A = this chain, B = another copy of it.
Amino acid sequence: MSALTLTLLSAIICCSLTEKPSNVSSPNIIILLMDDMGWGDLGVFGQPSKETPNLDAMAAEGMLLPNFYTANPLCSPSRAALLTGRLPVRNGFYTTNGHARNAYTPQEIVGGISKDEILLPQMLKKKGYVSKIVGKWHLGHRPHHLPLENGFDEWFGAPNCHFGPYNSSIRPNIPVYNNSEMLGRYYEDFKIDRKTGESNLTQIYLLEGLEFIQRQTVARRPFFLYWAADATHAPVYASKRFLGKSQRGRYGDAVMELDYSIGQIMSWLKTLGIDDNTFVFFTSDNGAALISAPKEGGSNGPFLCGKETTFEGGMREPAIAWWPGHIKKGTVSFQLSNVMDLFTTSLALAGISPPDDRTLDGLDLTPVLLKQSTTLQNRPIFYYRGNELMAVRLGQYKAHYWTWSNSWEEFKKGINFCPGQEVPDVTTHDQKEHTLQPIIFHLGRDPGEKYPISVLTKEYQNVLSGISPVVEQHKKTLVPGIPQLNMCDVAVMNWAPAGCEKLGKCLKVPKSEPLKCDWPH
């Protein structure tokens, strides 16, 4: 955004807000969700290039959560889990087409978020929250799957990844929506220069976020902003001002621009005087995509492998909670926590009871965030890949019941989820079962999952006897949801999104040919 725009926005504010807004009981909620950004991409988490002064400052002013997880090592299920507070295997964001396969929502997917699920913005309505998503949705792109049909009041962004450019006959370019109608398409109306990496999208998303915050503040309505920028997902992009500015190329440039934008959002809250009434949480949807590294992928710091895997590099996420006057400055909580907790925690902050007709996997983290409580210490973390429980973390220990990175077939073609890393029996290219004798790591001493604890030790036996009943209980009580990511069809692609007529951008829809989606890893 230009300095001019910001000045204009400030002018609007200073004239409309003559007094500081009253401290309403329900704080505003902002979730800043990055796309494929790794744990190791933040300065405060050790990125040598130190591109994130604003996020580092946010951590210094808030709470850092080094043991924060996603619910799935891939974008769509992770996002569905965040918004429903439930594991993908419960909310249907998985496939049964193959064992332990990652599924998501490419544009040929037939499914999306089920009408049986309750999403965070739907719940927040009970207390009058206005909700907006800026950026990537990824919970299905057919009309009934879109954000405004699922609790959001506003949307600016796209239903799918910004892959492309595509031609208009075999595969249409992804639409960008403003609320319920398309505004244009990537590469056509919203430029991303695949050669130089230049795009103004992050600046547009920033402006959309600032404008929404400002509007709700003036109207004195509590708001939920789900800011889901995607500049760090390949093809990575940055605007001209940031290109070439980082130590590590285009990926780092994108991180710098996102960090800058988050700094703008934080300072906007202070300018508007709503910082002490706004809870902000920063995280990412899954680990850095090492298949796109080093030119278009990030860093998982000391962790093993990356996106697509249930090793720490795939599922441990950078996480910062910020709420001046409520969350103690400069604190670190080692609480095991995850994206699904954001659902339950947001409801607790808003003073809304969570739905009681379904199993929720998210916990209410407010005792941890507001009182540095450690009472939630014994909660486990479940690492799923598709329909399989691959691993479980309890306390400092993680037990792998199944391992695999990707198939030998893919690996031989050069697709590698663990480049430069090889832990025997762990980063396997077969789906390898260890149910009878899980591979156990101590994640405190060994965050990189490189030193399996010998099965002959007392430590191993003690750990196993603690984890086994947790796994048993989980499996015994789990009722999987109906899998939503099994069927694909070229006819459901973004040929003619709502609003295309006005723009003359409707494309011819091909004949429907439903078939089982192929999920190779």
> Is A445 in contact with B302, judged by CB distance below 8 angstroms?
no
Docked Cα-Cα span, A119 to B47, in Å, equals: 35
Interface footprint category on A? 35 or more
* A405 CB-CB contact with B under 8 Å: no
* A514 CB-CB contact with B under 8 Å: no
Docked Cα-Cα span, A332 to B48, in Å, equals: 10
Query: For A301, what are the chain B residues with a Cβ–Cβ distance below 8 Å?
Result: 40, 46, 48, 301-302
Query: For A483, what are the chain B residues with a Cβ–Cβ distance below 8 Å?
Result: none
> Is A252 in contact with B444, judged by CB distance below 8 angstroms?
yes
Docked Cα-Cα span, A319 to B450, in Å, equals: 26
A445 nearest CB across to chain B (Å): 4
Provide 13 A-B residue pairs closer than 8 Å at the C-beta atoms, listed in order of the A residue: A46-B46, A46-B301, A48-B67, A48-B443, A48-B447, A246-B444, A249-B445, A251-B445, A293-B451, A294-B442, A294-B450, A299-B447, A299-B448
- Taking A248-B445, A251-B445, A421-B422 as given, write out 9 further A-B residue pairs in contact, using a Cβ cutoff of 8 Å, ordered by the A residue number: A46-B46, A49-B334, A50-B64, A252-B444, A252-B445, A293-B450, A294-B442, A420-B423, A421-B421
Docked Cα-Cα span, A65 to B368, in Å, equals: 33
* A45 CB-CB contact with B under 8 Å: yes
* A396 CB-CB contact with B under 8 Å: yes
* A521 CB-CB contact with B under 8 Å: no
* A66 CB-CB contact with B under 8 Å: yes
> Is B419 in contact with A420, judged by CB distance below 8 angstroms?
no
Interface residues of A in 405-453 (CB under 8 A from B): 419-423, 442-451
Among B295, B442, B446, B448, contact of A445 (Cβ-Cβ < 8 Å): B295
* A247 CB-CB contact with B under 8 Å: yes
> Is B247 in contact with A419, judged by CB distance below 8 angstroms?
no
Query: For A48, what are the chain B residues with a Cβ–Cβ distance below 8 Å?
Result: 66-67, 301-302, 443, 447
A30-52 contact mask (Cβ, 8 Å, vs B): 1 or 0: 00000000001001111111100
Given contacts A302-B301, A444-B246, contact A450 B419 (CB under 8 A): yes
Query: For A442, what are the chain B residues with a Cβ–Cβ distance below 8 Å?
Result: 248-249, 294
* A304 CB-CB contact with B under 8 Å: yes
Docked Cα-Cα span, A77 to B161, in Å, equals: 52
Query: For A445, what are the chain B residues with a Cβ–Cβ distance below 8 Å?
Result: 248-249, 251-252, 293-295
Given contacts A46-B302, A66-B50, A422-B421, contact A294 B248 (CB under 8 A): no
Given contacts A47-B46, A50-B66, A301-B301, contact A294 B446 (CB under 8 A): yes
> Is A247 in contact with B451, judged by CB distance below 8 angstroms?
no
Query: For A447, what are the chain B residues with a Cβ–Cβ distance below 8 Å?
Result: 48, 248, 299
Query: For A50, what are the chain B residues with a Cβ–Cβ distance below 8 Å?
Result: 64, 66, 332
Query: For A449, what are the chain B residues with a Cβ–Cβ distance below 8 Å?
Result: 420
Nearest 6 CB-CB pairings of A with B: A46-B46, A420-B450, A248-B444, A294-B445, A294-B446, A247-B444
Given contacts A50-B64, A444-B49, contact A451 B40 (CB under 8 A): no
Given contacts A46-B302, A50-B66, contact A293 B446 (CB under 8 A): yes
A423 nearest CB across to chain B (Å): 5
